[in-house]
Amino acid sequence: MLDPVSSSYVDSLLVYRCESPQQVAELAAHQAHRYLQGVLQQQGNAAVLLATGNSQIQFLKTLIDLGGLDWSQITLLHLDEYLGIEAQHPASFRYYLRERVEKQVRPKVFHYINGNALQPLQECDRYTQLLKAQPIDLCCLGLGENGHLAFNDPDVADFQDPHSLKLVKLDTITRQQQVKTGLFSELEQVPQYAFTVTLPLICSARKILCLAPELRKAKAVQGLLTGEITPQLPASILRQHPQASLFLDRDSAGFSLC
């Protein structure tokens, strides 16, 4: 395992600075692997909340390739899904996770958000019960260009949210980010609404790993680490979590950790 170039705390948040996105993925995967081994040894099962996006691809592959985890004792859930999208759509997060994770490891169960549910509010209730059925041992996150976690954009983020899963309207920056990452060819194709796990539920996880490489994340990283802790920069709440780590590369961290 490669060592980070440096690490430091910002409030309670442990920040790792790595050389490259590849090293970010490898370091985070090794930490997730070691942590889950310990959880399984201690309690015999684990529940993990997974993200999607480009930052997670190599991380998930490395975590799986390390081997040595009894996935049959791990319950998997995910953070978000577009409203009105079929599970077979290439941009669906269910498709992403089924292909990259479930088919590779055969977990105990993978609970998916049904993006094309005919009654979205009932789907929120159904998934909320699944989220509350067991404590979340590990939450794996990416960071949005506007500082969002999952689909908790600044306009809808709530540090005291009473919900565990809710339906939200996506802001333009978030929708444009999906185009930039190649999930859709143009903005008009990106759904305007999505389901998202809320910030309090994310922060209920016993351990959080947030991967935020690449230059396009640098502005959000700067705000996260140097600004106020505010819903206007949703990821800033990570600074209050007792077991959260942020993984940066030179491009996303260069402003503050050279």
Q: Are 137 and 47 in contact (CB under 8 A)?
A: yes
Fold type of domain 6-248: Rossmann fold (3.40.50)
What are the Cα distances from residue 131, in Å, to 75, 78, 85, 114, 170? 10, 10, 21, 14, 22
Q: How far apart are the first and last CA of the chain?
A: 22
Phi-psi region of 19 (alpha: psi -120 to 50; beta: other; left: phi over 0): alpha
Confidence band, pLDDT 50/70/90 cuts, at residue 7 = very high
Q: pLDDT tens for residues 174-188?
A: 898 888 877 788 999
Give the strand order in the sheet containing 138-142: 6-10, 13-17, 244-248, 207-211, 138-142, 46-50, 74-78, 109-111
Q: pLDDT tens for residues 104-122?
A: 999 999 999 999 999 999 9
If you write DSSP's letter for every residue of 104-120 in order, what string do you get?
HH--SEEE---TT-SSH
Give the residue extent of every domain in the chain: 6-248
Which two structure tokens, joined as six digits, stand for 240?
């209050």
What percentage of the chain reaches a pLDDT higher than 90?
A: 88
Q: pLDDT tens for residues 83-100?
A: 999 999 999 999 999 999
Mean pLDDT confidence for 65-76: 98
The pLDDT value recorded for residue 258 is 38
Q: If you search the block for the tokens 């920040």, which residue do you land on?
A: 15
Handedness of CA 146, 150, 153, 154 (dihedral sign): negative
Average pLDDT, the chain: 94
Distance CA 192, CA 174 (A): 10
Q: pLDDT tens for residues 156-205?
A: 999 999 999 999 999 888 898 888 877 788 999 989 999 999 999 999 99
The pLDDT value recorded for residue 143 is 97
- Residue 3's nearest CA partner among 25, 14, 18, 20 is 18
Distance CA 86, CA 98 (A): 13
Q: Which pTM value belongs to this model?
A: 0.94
